[in-house]
Amino acid sequence: MRTVWWLWPLVALCSGDQFRGEAEKIMQATPVIDGHNDLPWQLLTMFNNQLQEKAANLTSLAQTHTNIPKLRAGFVGAQFWSAYTPCDTQNKDAVRRILEQIDVIHRMCQMYPETFVCVTNSTGIRQAFQEGRVASLIGVEGGHSIDSSLGVLRALYHLGMRYLTLTHSCNTPWADNWLVDTGEDQAQSQGLSDFGQSVVREMNRLGVIIDLAHVSVATMKAALRLSKAPIIFSHSSAYSLCRHRRNVPDDVLQLVNQTGSLVMVNFYNDYVSCQKEATLSQVADHLDHIKKVAGAGAVGFGGDYDGVSRLPSGLEDVSKYPDLVAELLRRQWTEAEVRGALANNLLRVFEAVEQVSDHTRTPEEVPIPLGKLQGSCRTTYGYSEAPSFHPPPGALLALSTVLLGLCLL
């Protein structure tokens, strides 16, 4: 029988429509939970967080990857909004800056209650799904935002933070970042210091998800082995497919599998193809690889929209999630695997974190050693009188010399 070659494009088009239609049907019941979106940072840089500015209207905001119509078209049902402040605020005004970014997320929910509802637990996400609203959660990006303070960590939890990325692209005094693995930064904690381990234990106690995007491999392994609850990589991809140190290597993916943890794939071209250009199909390759190495329960979406400058062809903004889901269906992912990647895997991790949390346990309270802190404007209240305070060698001699000099004046 002669092949009617000109029919093949039509067949392919119909097949594509079939997968896209199936994707939308699945997403109507199981919308996407995305692990990382930097719209709050755009609101700061574009409008100084003045949401009532006419140009800041989220129903018509055009120059961002994210707005309300795009979220609706992309079947986004829950979003971890990134409360982010850059590394240059460390030892300066990081805490103030992060409070302002948490505030702008709360105000998004207040200004657009028909679209956003701020939630703090897995039950709230499920309720938002039923209401057809976008469950809005707060992820604090960068451990420098707590200024090495367990008290600040707890305060941010009470303000709604439900994940903390242990570092951004800089070391904290208690955890090493990914630039250590490139040689651009020096390891300071060899993963996690003693205080860093206290931070992880306190996050477990509180019910804050530990996020390992941006950390060094040593920090990844230390946290995965120490945490009593599963962790996430809120916006990272597979190192085997793109050898960028922001991505997750296979030996760590095996630990992800063993701990029931989750990698939410980043769409940034540099982490997808290691080049300036990338495609939707290459993002699907990362999802395939993580599924193969860590299991179908370890896969999620962490697009990094509005936090990156280059996105793959076919994934230009948050409206494009159904096209990615259609590609997974085309690759013969089962409906259960797709629903897992969309939402159920994150819900499982979140519920496990909630089960491990125990607010009746005694909080971690040993402060970071004073010598680990930097910043010329920092005061030292509490340290000199604390039972465990030990002055550094020579400090008493130096103090005696100063006092003697004053007496001689």
Query: Which SS3 state, helix, strand or coil, does residue 299 take?
Result: strand
Query: Which SS3 state, helix, strand or coil, does residue 168 take?
Result: strand
141 assigned to active site: yes
Dihedral over Cα of 327, 329, 332, 333: its sign: positive
Q: Can you tell me which residue has the tokens 């505030």? A: 103
Q: Which of 34, 141, 327, 337 is catalytic?
A: 141
Which secondary-structure segment (H or E) carries 80? strand 76-84
Q: Which of 34, 144, 211, 214 is catalytic?
A: 214
DSSP 8-state class, residue 70 = H
Number of H helices and number of E strands within the chain? 16, 9
Q: Within 10 Å of residue 215's Cβ, how many Cβ atoms?
A: 31
Q: What is the β-pairing status of strands 299-301 and 161-165?
A: unpaired
171: left (phi over 0), alpha (psi -120 to 50) or beta: beta
Q: Which of 65, 144, 168, 244 is catalytic?
A: 168
267: left (phi over 0), alpha (psi -120 to 50) or beta: alpha
Q: Can you tell me which residue has the tokens 């920090």? A: 219
Query: Which SS3 state, helix, strand or coil, does residue 163 take?
Result: strand
Q: 65: closest CA among 101, 88, 97, 41?
A: 41
Q: Which of 202, 285, 304, 317 is catalytic?
A: 304
Q: Which of 34, 147, 202, 235 is catalytic?
A: 235
How many whole angstroms separate alpha carbon 240 and alpha carbon 249? 6
**Cβ-based neighbours of 109, under 8 Å, separated by 6 or more:** 116, 117, 118, 136
| CB contact at 8 A, 368 and 195 | yes
Q: Can you tell me which residue has the tokens 């990272």? A: 236
390 assigned to active site: no
244 assigned to active site: no
132: left (phi over 0), alpha (psi -120 to 50) or beta: left
Q: What is the DSSP string of 259-293?
A: HT-EEEE---HHHHTSSS--BHHHHHHHHHHHHHH
| CB contact at 8 A, 204 and 229 | yes
| CB contact at 8 A, 258 and 300 | no
Q: Which residues are catalytic?
A: 36, 38, 141, 168, 214, 235, 304
